[in-house]
Structures are given as C-alpha cells and as structure tokens.
Amino acid sequence: MNPEAFSPLLPKDLEHYAEYAGHELVVPVIHNAEVHGFISIHRFGKESGIGSGGTRFWDFGSEEEALRDALRLSQAMTYKHALGGSPFGGAKGVLFSSEGSASPELLQSYADTINALGGKFTTGMDVGFSQHEIDILKSLTPHLVGLDRDLSEFTGIGLFNALESCLLETFGDTSLANRTFLLQGAGKVSEHFLRALKENAEKQSALPKIFFSEINPERVEWVKSFLPHAVLVSPEEIYDITADAFIPCALGGTINADTAPRLNVQIVCGAANNQLADEEAGEILFKRGILYAPDYIANGGGMIAVVDEHQHKNFDRPRLIERLKHIPEILTQIFSRSKREKERPERIANKMAESIFSPL
C-alpha cells in the first residue's frame, strides 16, 4: 500500500461534525487517488487493543454523509461492545462507489487499509455486499470475523430474549398468550426472531397475534408461509395498531416526532439500528410510559456471537445460546435503574457503557 495514502484524519478535520466524539482513529479508504470510504475506530478495547465492527457498502449521497455514518455507527458499536461483555472497542467500515457495487480493485484497496492497521481493526460484513464480494475480501485480509455462519440467527434469538425481558418488566411474566406484536420489517433477523417466537409460543400453546409490514414480496411470502395467521399491513398502518409491543427491524430512525405519538403499545423492542430519530422521540416514548429497550443491546446477539467465537477460537452453539442470556440480564439492570432514577432507559444504558469504556 502506498504509505502516503494511509493518512489518518486529525481531530481538527473532524471536530465540526456533530457525530465526532473523540474517535481514536479515522482513516480514509483511498482508491484511484480518491476517497471511497472510511474506517472509523471510536475506541480501541482496553484489554484487546482492537476496534471491531461491521463494514457496509452503501449508496451514500456524499463523502461527508459516509463519514458521518462511520463516526455515528462506530460510537454505537463501542456502547454495544461495552454492555455486551466484549473486550473490543467500537469501530465501523463504510465503502461507496459510483459503480453501485464493490469492484475487486476497490476491495483490494480496502483490504490494504485494513491490513495496514496490523490487526487493530477487525470487521465482518454488513449490508450491501454480495457473497462473491465477501469471498474476494476474505482472500485479501485475515482480519474478517463472523463470516462462516449466519449472524442474523443470533441477532434474532437475542432480540427474542430482549422482548421477554420487556414482557417481564411490563406485565410481570413472559407469557405470549393473548399478546399482540407489530413487526416492522421481515428480513433475516426478523425471520430468526419469528422462529424463536414460534418455538416458545408452541411450548406455551399460545401463539400471539402478529401484524407485520414489509415491502419485499419474497419476504412477505416467507412470513405468510411460516406464520399463516400473520397479517400484512402497510408501512404507515403499522404505527396505528393497538398492540403490546412494536418491534422495529427495518431502517433506523422510524421512531420520530410524528410516529412516536401514534404508537399505541407498551413496549418498543427491535433490532433496527438507531431506532430513535432524535432525543425528542425518546422523550415522547418515556413520557407516554412506553418501555424502550435500547437498540444496541436488543440487537447485540450477532456481536456476541462474533466475540464468543473470537475468544474461544471455535463455535459452540450451546455455549453461545447461554451467553445470549446476557441481553435480558443487562436490560433488567437498565430498567431497574431507569425506574429508580426516573431516567430514560437509553440514557441509563449509555451511562453504564461509559462507565466501562471511559470516554476520552
């Protein structure tokens, strides 16, 4: 790699971004003398010295938008690692190209940037990559993790565990009988969440009502075949149905000043990243008495799976399923402190995480 191309951004280059939070290292990905992405490390792990987080290929509107995304998501990963019992710090990789896909040459440039960090950054593949592109990148760098199995399975199982914690906090038990859930998005994480939900419901002989929204016809058909009683509703209608829990598993920011007042639920617990569009949305939920499970905890199962395999150097499903019980355990602590301190759960979660990774 050309040493001149590997030039970390300085704090003075980043301080005017609202998303900048003392990130320890931000490196542009240079390809053909142009910026085509960033690696953002919010914190290196205290124990490991490693920043870890997924890489996404996305059609960003601008280089600035890509950088903002990397800064925001890498910080969120630090919080996720801290409360997930991980030795890593938070990081994120983002790539973009006018070609609409990651060419082998761009992937080589990205691998060169990863390798230049000497193992200080480990990553898995987030949205936007084909299996062929993943295979290419895997051949170019040893610093990819979590590629040998479907991490969405463990994100989905962890999400179900989180929902059970919310049900216990709100209703005093985890029974699924006579419950109604609103599922926003029916992708792979939702699929595994529904599998866990159905398995537990059958044990209780009590299948809850499911309303779901999804724009992909193939995913709609899968849900209808797996849960024939599930009812498809429009993306707008999902906010107005009376239910026990709203489960956002699609794009981030869907809970905002417009949608938060419309929700007629007692629980919000989903796998989408950055579910709350802003502080106002979180405040609306809290004032309305709607229990919110901080997203980076509820969706932490995939990260826990990667960390478990990295630490033990092997995959052990029973060990991992047991480790996913950490999610409801930490949520119970958060909800208890939230009631005691009369503070929003996501703020309590942030305080708990910050006490672990010690903000700069």
Catalytic center residues? 92
Q: Three-class SS string for the chain?
A: CCHHHCCCCCHHHHCCCCCCCCCCEEEEEEECCEEEEEEEECCCCCCCCCEECCEEECCCCCHHHHHHHHHHHHHHHHHHHHHCCCCCEEEEEEECCCCCCCCHHHHHHHHHHHHHCCCCEEECECCCCCHHHHHHHHHHCCCECCCCCCCHHHHHHHHHHHHHHHHHHHHCCCCCCCCEEEEECCCHHHHHHHHHHHHHHHHHCCCCEEEEECCCHHHHHHHHHHCCCCEECCCCHHHHCECCEEEECCCCCCECCCCCCCCECCEECCCCCCCECCHHHHHHHHHCCCEECCHHHHCCHHHHHHHHHHHHCCCCHHHHHHHCCHHHHHHHHHHHHHHHHCCCHHHHHHHHHHHHHCCC
